[in-house]
Structure 1
Amino acid sequence: MHTLPQEIEVWYIIPSIRREMAMCFSREHKISYDNVALMMGLTKAAISQYIAGKRVERIKMHPKALEEVKVSCNRIVKNKSNVAKEILRVLEIIKKKKLHCEICGEMIDGELHNCKEVKIPEVVM
């Protein structure tokens, strides 16, 4: 069975970004779970689960993506952006640099192995 790239984003990448943002807000910026939940539009229970490692615990983000999440958190805390815009920004970086393949676990030593993502060929006009 093939997986659409958007399914990988929804199931793995966006929750991973949320987890890292929640941890950054809580640990580095000392923001309470209640306020993190408000900022992110999630429940306090969801924030607690992200931070405790009970959601998307198997998914490890690429170090470059983690750096971008920290940049995003700083921008949000300084009121220079909002959570939705920053999640989209990090998601775009992950797609452009093909880091989603590494997050998915199919990229080994720079090569794709057993990738089940649907590849849509470019149309030549």
Structure 2
Amino acid sequence: MKIPCEIVVWYLLPSIRKGVAKELVEVHGFTQSRVARTFGVTDAAVSQYLRNKRGDYDVVVNSPGFPMVQEEMAAAASRIANGSDFAEEICNVCMVAKSVGILAKIYEIELGEEYPDCDCEGQISIKSA
């Protein structure tokens, strides 16, 4: 059994990065290099997002909830362009995707299993040695 975070990394995160990258370039005037620095990826990766070579997972983009995710990606890009933390904004988009059932749908299609009842946001605690 894979944990939900693995599904996010392999299927959802590339779609989110693609959407936010396109928004930053097309709407907010970021260069490909600036997006790459912001995302912590290579220029080549951003190029692939912008040319639709990466981040096009049908289950994500064809989901009935995807328009809500697109709205959040646009809002996140705007906040990132205004100095908001990239990681926090991507987490927000991911939470929207989870709330509209996209993550559960990916889990079902890719693994043939029901999405586990995982409520891990905000549950992290650091234990001292």
**TM-score normalized with structure 1 length:** 0.76
Whole-angstrom CA distance in 2 between matches of 1:115 and 1:3: 11
Deviation string for 1:13-32 (max 9, x for gaps)? 11111111111111111211
Unaligned runs of 5+ in 1: 108-113
Q: How does 1:1-125 map to 2 (within 5 A)?
A: 2-59=1-58, 60-61=60-61, 62-79=66-83, 81-102=84-105, 104=106, 115-120=112-117
Whole-angstrom CA distance in 1 between matches of 2:117 and 2:38: 36
Whole-angstrom CA distance in 2 between matches of 1:56 and 1:88: 17
Question: Is the contact between residue 22 and residue 51 of structure 1 (CA under 8 Å) also seen in structure 2?
Answer: yes
Question: Is the contact between residue 22 and residue 36 of structure 1 (CA under 8 Å) also seen in structure 2?
Answer: yes
SS of the residue 2:55 aligns to: coil
Q: Which runs of 4+ in 1 moved over 4 A?
A: none
**TM-score normalized with structure 2 length:** 0.74
Instruction: Using the TM superposition, give the Cα deviation of residue 56 of structure 1 relative to its aligned residue in structure 2, in angstroms.
Output: 2.5
Q: Give the letter for the 1:73 counterpart.
A: A
Q: Give the letter for the 2:116 counterpart.
A: K
Unaligned runs of 5+ in 2: 119-129
Q: Give the letter for the 2:72 counterpart.
A: E
Change (3 A) 1:39 1:69: same
Moved more, 89-98 or 28-37: 89-98
| Alignment length (residue pairs) | 113
Instruction: Using the TM superposition, give the Cα deviation of residue 38 of structure 1 relative to its aligned residue in structure 2, in angstroms.
Output: 1.0
Moved more, 92-101 or 28-37: 92-101
CA RMSD of aligned residues (A): 2.5
